[in-house]
Amino acid sequence: MREFIVEADGGSRGNPGPAGYGSVVIDAATGETLAERAEYIGVATNNVAEYRGLVAGLEAARELDATARVRVRMDSKLVVEQMSGRWKIKHPDMKPLAARAAGVLPGSQVTYEWIPRERNKHADRLANEAMDAGKRGETWSPSASAADLNTRATRPTPPAPTAPPGDATAGAARARAALKETRGETPRKDREELRAQPGTGESRETTPAGPHVPRKGREELRAQRATAGTRETTPGDTHVPREGRGELRDQPGTGESRETTPGGTPSPGGEAGRPPAGPGDTDRSGAAADDKRAARNVAATTPATGWTAPPDMGAPATFVLLRHGETPLTPQKRFSGSGGSDPSLSDAGREQAERVAAALAARGTIQAIVASPLARTRETAAAVAARLGLDVTVEEGLRETDFGAWEGLTFGEVRERHPDDLNAWLASPEAEPTGGGESFAATAHRMAATRDKLIAAHAGRTVLLVTHVTPIKTLVRLALGAPPESLFRMELSAASLSAVAYYGDGNASVRLFNDTSHLR
């Protein structure tokens, strides 16, 4: 069953006075904004406006999925307590609105939670936009809203993919093509084998010197991909025997496939959430040089192995990747890297940390904990360590990307103040944020070095890495051998778990990505 979060608010400039409401529906699993509602309602009280916002939010959630569970979050203690049945409704204007709200969805599907006003800013901004529009004699329009820049209305439509099913973008296909150009043409027989495996997204390339894989062996490989996860492969990848593949499958839920990406940014990482566009969203036609450079970056940070090397059958170093819990900047979708204010966890973030700690304690597989030096990761790690009875080691290399002058700003504010720098940053992993921040390429090199250091220190062990959006996405990207623009194609929620296993022969296996089941 899907789960939505409805945040609603209302306001009156005069109480009673010109009033309006705002509400937003959020996917509880991903944090994505699914719907926004706002309206100027004329002269009314604050409470009437708040109830109108609640009704609008519940109706929007019902339109998306009438069977979904809904968590209503409002900063109105009155509405939350009355709708929860703990306070009586006495005001004659409130009774019909409360009855209308109660009738939108079955009561068993809806719960109510009070939150501080600073955590309800999205709905508050929508309500103020509606009142401003009413003052001008206009009707509020979603397309003109600046309350949340992470809505479908503001996201450019990505170009239609021209690569095989499973490819994130045509740019990814071009990057792989550039890889083939630098390493030799793929034999015709192997190209036919690739075409015979639609939807795998693996595009396993081989060089003319690569050994012939019998048909039976290829069928075994295809049968295992659905359970063993996507394996990065290079022209020299070692063939993993059947017994080894069985070993991979026998370790579910360990959080071994750790996603890695360059720092936290409006989707690639940080608190800013997913940006409306990414490098893969821009027109890359005629940019073969950029694609080749991206391919070389992937090749440079992917461990090389050889077909003739003996397969590694030892226990892998498994990194369980935990993104820190929410901070006050998280729901506001602001850039929050290693060069900003270093915020601590919010109340919601501390609750998330306790929940993930309980989940990891139940699994019982974590043998060591390593955290980024920033406050939010150390606080999250401390909650887990207290539950597991382990110490926390701080690793500087796990810090979030430095976003320079963008720290603390929303994606929309950056677009308004630094449009040229933002466009360059979205188009190239080599570009730095305004003011000398850290590029995605620099983050990738830092994460590759940190990964190798930690693999050497924790061979055969399962280690929890408490870090940030971009580092996690970068680790995952490198494990998959994916191009830099793949960072904009990953959704990573606060307090989510991912996992990557690293074998002694240089191979990596992504086991888990963006698991938030412990938060539901």
- Catalytic positions are 324, 400
Which residue, among 200, 290, 309, 242, has the nearest Cα to 485 in the 3D structure?
290
- Alpha helices (H) in 103-200, listed in sequence order: 121-135, 170-183, 188-195
User: Measured between alpha carbons, how far is residue 119 from residues 52, 73, 314, 336, 356 in Å?
Assistant: 19, 9, 47, 17, 21
* Close Cβ partners of 299 (under 8 Å, ≥ 6 residues apart): 179, 182, 234
Which residue, among 397, 403, 485, has the nearest Cα to 445 in the 3D structure?
397
* Residue 3 CB neighbour total at 10 angstroms: 16
| CA distance linking residue 136 with residue 321, whole number of Å | 49
| CA distance linking residue 316 with residue 502, whole number of Å | 5
Which residue, among 52, 58, 51, 55, has the nearest Cα to 79 in the 3D structure?
51
| CA distance linking residue 299 with residue 420, whole number of Å | 29
Taken in order 244, 492, 269, 174, is the CA torsion positive or negative? positive
479 SS3 class: helix
Which residue, among 367, 355, 337, has the nearest Cα to 440 in the 3D structure?
337
User: What are the φ and ψ backbone dihedral angles of 395, each rounded to 5 degrees?
Assistant: -120, 115
| CA distance linking residue 97 with residue 44, whole number of Å | 13
* Residue written as token pair 């290399």: 397
How does 107-120 read in b/e, with b if 16+ C-beta sit within 10 Å?
Answer: eebbebebbeeebb
- Type of residue found at 357: A
